[in-house]
Amino acid sequence: MIEQIGNTDLIYNKYLSELYNCTISIKAEYQNPGMSSKDRPAISMIRDAEKRGLLKTGDTIVEASSGNTALGLGMIAKELGYHTHFFLSKGSSIEKRQALLLHGASVTICENSTSPNDSESTMACAKDWCLSNPDSFFCNQYYNKANSLAHFEGTGPEIWKQSKGSVTHFVCGVGTGGTISGVGKFLKKKNPMITVIGVDSEGSILYDFFYYGQVSEVTSSVCPIEGIGRKFLPSVLDFGCIDEFFRVSDKQAVNQIYDFIEHDAHLPGFSSGAVLSALNQMSAGLRPNDHVVLLFADHGSRYMSKIYNQEWLIEHKHNQWIIQQTAQTG
Ligand SMILES: Cc1ncc(COP(=O)(O)O)c(C=O)c1O
């Protein structure tokens, strides 16, 4: 399974290309064995820790995750003979939790993933657990350089090669910042004219920090789009390789997803809906020769209990799409 990580397809998208009158491709990260881009940092962080003598057979791999990194680590750990203990926040989808338990992982659900300084956050709980369990290794993806390195050495070169150097814009969601920092750095090295665009979630501080150099008042509201947006600044996130940022609400992401699936066979994950919303917001500035690469970090099947579920849509006031679901299934 480890050999299967990476080398995902770059897929030309006819619907979006015609809609926005330029070339638009999707980097299909849901093709990774764990069905997300996070398999890449997962194997990268494990190999790096092994090399540095921080992880040995029989140890427990620990991580604070919205679920996808944990899933990547969980699958790899099973193959390599490590134990796992993951700290997920309340907001993580039931599908991710379920899959982790099926892989034999221990899972602790925490109040939030707000900040390493909040004692109830996934990061603080993971760190605490490691202190009392000496044969453990905390991957710490927000502060681990092996995270962005996986994208600098893998995802970035793949996009460059697959697009035959034609990529003009790269758009992806930002959580730890590993993807945008690794891919952005690589693409800028190849062609500094490429525009690198980050997508943030409502409730996050990243957008404000990028544009105003300061952190807006930290509110208690959550970042509703799983995997993206943060209330602290991960050291992995390199703002220097980003040209533009968009901040997207859950409503905007859901609207874009339902509009998209009416015309296309993809079933995007939640954060891919945010990427589609950013594309829509930037579309007025696109020219016919542009080639926009959108990174779809995971797959819609991870969110059947959320964005593709009627009760969830009602609870979160996305009522306009309930009719469509009823019409499709009725
Ligand atoms: C679904 C999803 N999209 C986007 C991201 C953000 O990727 P990164 O952490 O590399 O910024 C994540 C991270 O966990 C994710 O799970």
Q: Provide the token pair at 317.
A: 């006031």
Q: Mean pLDDT, to the nearest integer, of 296-306?
A: 95
Question: Given this model, what pLDDT does residue 268 score?
Answer: 97
**Amino acid identity, position 3:** E
Least confident stretch, 89-98, 182-191, 284-293, 296-305: 89-98
**Amino acid identity, position 157:** P
Question: Given this model, what pLDDT does residue 37 score?
Answer: 98
Question: Given this model, what pLDDT does residue 91 score?
Answer: 84
Q: Does 178 contact ligand 1 (Cβ within 6 A)? A: yes
Q: Mean pLDDT, to the nearest integer, of 162-170?
A: 98
Count of residues in the chain: 330
- Ligand 1 centroid to Cα of residue 254, in Å, is 17
Of 164, 183, 161, 163, nearest to 172 (Cα)? 183
Q: Provide the token pair at 230.
A: 């943060």
| Whether domain 2-31+145-329 has CATH 3.40.50.360 | no
- Ligand 1 centroid to Cα of residue 329, in Å, is 30
pLDDT exceeds 80 at position 77: yes
Confidence of residue 215 (pLDDT cuts 50, 70, 90): confident
Q: Does 203 contact ligand 1 (Cβ within 6 A)? A: no
- Classify 39-138 by CATH class: alpha beta
Question: Can you list the alpha helix ranges (DSSP code H) found in the chain?
Answer: 14-20, 39-51, 68-80, 94-102, 122-131, 145-150, 156-162, 178-190, 206-212, 250-261, 270-282, 310-315, 322-329
Q: Give the span between the Cα atoms of 11 and 54, in whole angstroms.
A: 38
State whether residue 303 is helix, strand or coil: helix
Per-residue pLDDT reduced to its tens digit, 88-123: 988 888 999 999 999 999 999 998 877 788 888 899
Question: Given this model, what pLDDT does residue 274 score?
Answer: 98
Q: Does 198 contact ligand 1 (Cβ within 6 A)? A: no
Question: Given this model, what pLDDT does residue 12 score?
Answer: 98
Least confident stretch, 17-26, 249-258, 307-316: 307-316
pLDDT exceeds 60 at position 330: no
- What rounded mean pLDDT belongs to the chain? 94
Q: Does 271 contact ligand 1 (Cβ within 6 A)? A: yes
The domain ranges of the chain are: 2-31+145-329, 39-138
pLDDT exceeds 90 at position 278: yes
